[in-house]
Amino acid sequence: MNGHYAIAIDGPSGAGKSTQAKRLAKEFSFIYVDTGAIYRTLGLACYRAEIDRKDAAAVMELLKTLDISIRYNEAGEQCMLLNGEDVSKEIRQPEISICASDVSALPEVRRFLLDMQRRFARENNVVMDGRDIGTVVLPDAELKIFLTASPEARARRRLLDLKEKGIEESFEDVLRDINYRDEQDTKRAAAPLRQAEDAVLVDSSDIGFEETFARLCELVIRRLAAVRED
């Protein structure tokens, strides 16, 4: 370790990673890093520039001209800046989820964004969530959790989240997007979504938020105690 602790949480879209990770970070006074938001910001930039998101050369050419950065506001929330503009809300639109998944499949993009993610973990205690945190970004994380749930359970939760944000979608559309992203995120050649060998699997299909959170807290407490004893 580098003097800081890292908790990696990976899993498919809509498994509750970000809500759980955010609360865990608060509970243990770590910094929360949502890496999906970085891919979403690039996805939004491609969408706005109307470029083919599967064309690696075109995406890289655009990426090199962009200033993508993360800021934390007074409430401690992660905000995404695209060339200085706060795009935190816009990147949550359903069409941007697909754009993010498309650009995240490009190995050049993943390589380019790796350092930005690692820098946070070098400088802070982090709870970082994504798809390849335990396998690629932070392979030496003190604790790795693979948080999953069935596609239907995830679609139901995503629908509620979107509704709260005032975004209307049908269950079928949300489930279709989840299946599209699952397929693409797990089958891509570059850093596909998979459980690291030393990750703890937590399936939240049939347990509520609080019970899932309690399980995660227990894992963190046990792991940190073991690491501190070493």
State the residues that interact with ligand DC by CB under 6 A: 13, 35-36, 39-40, 97, 100-101, 104, 130-133, 181, 185
Query: What minimum distance in Å lies between the beta carbon of 85 and ligand DC?
Result: 19
Residue number, 20 or 104, with CB nearest to ligand DC: 104
By beta-carbon proximity to ligand DC, the closer residue of 5 and 41 is: 41
The C-alpha angle with vertex 146 and arms to 93 and 38, in degrees rounded to 5, equals 35
Nearest-approach distance from CB 170 to ligand DC, in angstroms: 19
100 vs 121, beta carbon nearer ligand DC: 100
Partners of 19 in the β-ladder: none
Q: Tell me how far, at minimum, the Cβ of 39 lies from ligand DC, in Å.
A: 4
State the DSSP code for 84. T
Looking only at Cα atoms, what is the longest distance across the chain?
53
Backbone phi and psi for residue 166, each to the nearest 5 degrees, phi listed first: 80, 15
Given a contact cutoff of 8 angstroms between Cβ atoms, the answer to whether 79 and 73 are in contact is yes
CB of residue 130 to ligand DC, shortest distance in Å:
2
Burial class (CB in 10 A: 0-12, 13-18, 19+), 174: buried
CB of 13 to ligand DC, least distance (A): 4
Angle, in degrees to the nearest 10, between helices 107-123 and 94-104: 100
Indicate the residue among 30 and 35 with the shorter CB distance to ligand DC: 35
> Residue 4 or 92: which CB sits closer to ligand DC?
92
Residues 127, 144: Cα–Cα separation, whole Å: 10
Q: How far is Cα 2 from Cα 41, in angstroms, rounded to an integer?
A: 29
